[in-house]
Structure 1
Amino acid sequence: MTDQSASSVVPARVTALARAREIVFSGPLVTIAAGILLIIVLSALLAQWIVPHDPVRLSPGVRLKPPSEEFWLGTDAYGRDLFSRIIYGGRISLVVGVAAAIFAVVLGLLLGLLAGYIRWIDAVLMRMVDGLMAIPSILLAIAIVSLWGASLWTVLVAITIPEVPRVVRLVRSLVLSAREEPYVEAAIAAGTPTWIIMRRHLVPNTIAPLIIQGTYICASAILTEAILSFLGAGINPETPSWGNIMAEGRIYFQINPGIVLWPGLVVSITILSINLLGDAVRDALDPRMAKRGIER
């Protein structure tokens, strides 16, 4: 029994690793994107060991310095090393992106299952979802931050809430399709409890689309956090983040454009890399996309 369970786990791990390797090396652009994203993530995780200067230390004597051997990307208006702040800023932006994707997918999955399987919940919940989707996401995020105050958790909630309706609609459509399948109807006729039907038959049909949707939510959350911080509605301005760095540097753009351009470039590259990986995951998990790629 133990040997059989252990042997079943190992092939599953090998298959997952093989699939991940296949996705990463599915094309040169995807491989480059994966490499760049890996460098960005490792730089954020190991920031305290690789940055040359303290990212929050004020040094008025070296303010607005151009790039040099000491300050690789120059300094900001307070004399802080721009390279160190960008590396540390990746921690906040990546945490917000990943956490918002996880929270939105989990909450959207639960609500989507209920909406797609239980009729009366569908009628009420989807009208609420339609109402949320009618509000521009950035305006809704700004309103939430303005009401609750700027903090990391507030920004995370403000970014997650506008993303949940999209996940709910996706899961609901998948559940509505899957519940008409013969095996689901057989489970219902056999008196199988609702939660078991959802766990065994409905949730597995949503995993692949949710993984793909999660990558896009992650990229969108990183961009939204940068926009909120740039507009002054994000996290504490003293905390290094890509949006905060650009917000502080916009006044001095003509003196030192790098304060805005460098973090903006990092945001763009990160989002592009995530989207490329998301497209690769979609092609790998969707047989129709893989067939279309073979035909081309």
Structure 2
Amino acid sequence: MPTSMPCPSIRIPVELLTQSSFSQFGTVIENPAHSPLPPSQRGPAPDAVSANQGSAIKLLDVTHPSNLYSLAPSKKPAKAVMNMFICSPRELRPHEPSESMPSSWGDLDFDEDDYGNNDRALLDVSILERHPFTTQTFIPMGLSATERHTQYLVIVAPTLPAAASKRHTGRPPPYPTPDVKKRTTSIKDIFARARPSPFTNEAAPPPPQYSRLHPSARPKGPGLPDLKNLRAFVASGNQAVTYGAGTWHAPMVVIGQRPIDFVVSQFANGVGMEDCQEVELMAGRNAEEGVVVMVDSDSSGKVIVKAGVGSVMAKL
């Protein structure tokens, strides 16, 4: 049974999923030529080479799978696994006025009466999960980049420091801290790490594996999710997403008329608490509601971006 966490009444606007906006949480996998952003806002493109006798372009290292199970308490090795999730559209509740605080990522009038031709519905976020020692990549199948009637949301949150997690729940964090060996500090070891080493002709030993990873892929520690900085992104059919190891996220949320099939790639060792950790979000005492994502859509059902990059374009 997952641990529970009291949460504030807070409403989250939807942002456009881009690599720059998502970078602290993981990787967006997409063909840069199909990005909805203008070239000046896309960031550096992945390296590309010609392939298949010149009939294809190969984009290199579009995401970086990480296996950090060597840091897990059990030390049980993991294997690469690939599963499929058939995700049905979520039930949304009708919009109603609220005194919930706005998210840090949008300053919106929640009670505006005139949405023009747009509709607003609400998604209650009741649970978050993470995979502390592995990245997890979701690849949608059969979803067009121009699909207007079905899309999916990517909902993520940073990790609180362990001390802050204890303040939020009144008890220590429920999850183990990654077992990271401390470096010894003997005189010999100090000199051995010098460049050049006085004991050999070799350079200093390389840094630990996790320190060379992108920050989104490094182990996050035992902290609970930072709900006040939770973010919601809408993805198109030509985008896949990789959650960095230990990134708190909601189960995949499909919005629209039909299910979406996702191929999901990750590592796993079969130890429940090391493969997946969950937190149930409970509205605080006297709270009007818990964590809510505001889903605005046009007459066709297409989700409208209301915050961050792309919000201005969406309003035009």
Q: TM-score range by the shorter chain?
A: under 0.3
> Which has the higher Rg, Structure 1 or Structure 2?
1
Q: Judging by fraction of residues, say which structure has more strand.
A: 2
Q: Judging by fraction of residues, say which structure has more helix.
A: 1
Does 1 or 2 have the higher relative contact order (CA < 8 Å, sep 6+)?
2
**TM-score, normalised via structure 1 length:** 0.24
**TM-score, normalised via structure 2 length:** 0.23
